[in-house]
Amino acid sequence: MDEIGNTGASIHGVEYLPLREIPTEGGSVLHMLRADSPHFTRFGEVYFSECLPGSVKAWKRHREMTQNFAVPAGRIRVVIYDDREDSPTRGTVAEYLLGRPDNYALLRIPPMLWYGFTAADDAVGIICNCADMTHRPDESERMAADSHTIPYHWPELNHP
């Protein structure tokens, strides 16, 4: 991964935006998303997802929802796969490292991209997602983390 937390591969529509940290005496203030930011569209819901070391949360994609991920605690590796028929980056896999201290950023994932994530080291990682719509189970799809449909091998999984 390079200094911005990306493997170098890019996927059409995915944005990696460094976020502001304001150091204070009692601990930093971590910005994530503001209504006046050019990349803000609308508010749906905010939730946090804990990722334990050695676990993999994959694969998932949303048909309509845009994900806005930031990692305020720990470090998370997010992997995205593009299988959209009309995409110029179809078939691309990209990895992003999110978390502090070096990669505090907003990762914006548009609809119809497969994604998954894992803790990037031996500590628990926390993803904050400010989604642009409220969760609806019928709007998303899931696939097993070890599916051969996506050309990515999660090192955390024991593959035969």
Q: What is the chain's alpha carbon radius of gyration, rounded to the nearest angstrom?
A: 15
Entry pTM: 0.90
Could you tell me the domains of the chain? 15-142 (2.60.120.10)
Question: Is 43 a residue whose pLDDT tops 70?
Answer: yes
Instruction: Quote the pLDDT of residue 158.
Output: 56
- Dump pLDDT digits (tens) for 138-158: 999 999 999 999 999 998 775
Sheet with strand 93-99: strands edge to edge:
93-99, 75-81, 114-119, 56-62, 140-142
Q: What is the pLDDT of residue 2?
A: 42
- Residue 119 forms beta bridges with which residues? 76
- The stretch 18-25 carries a mean pLDDT of 93
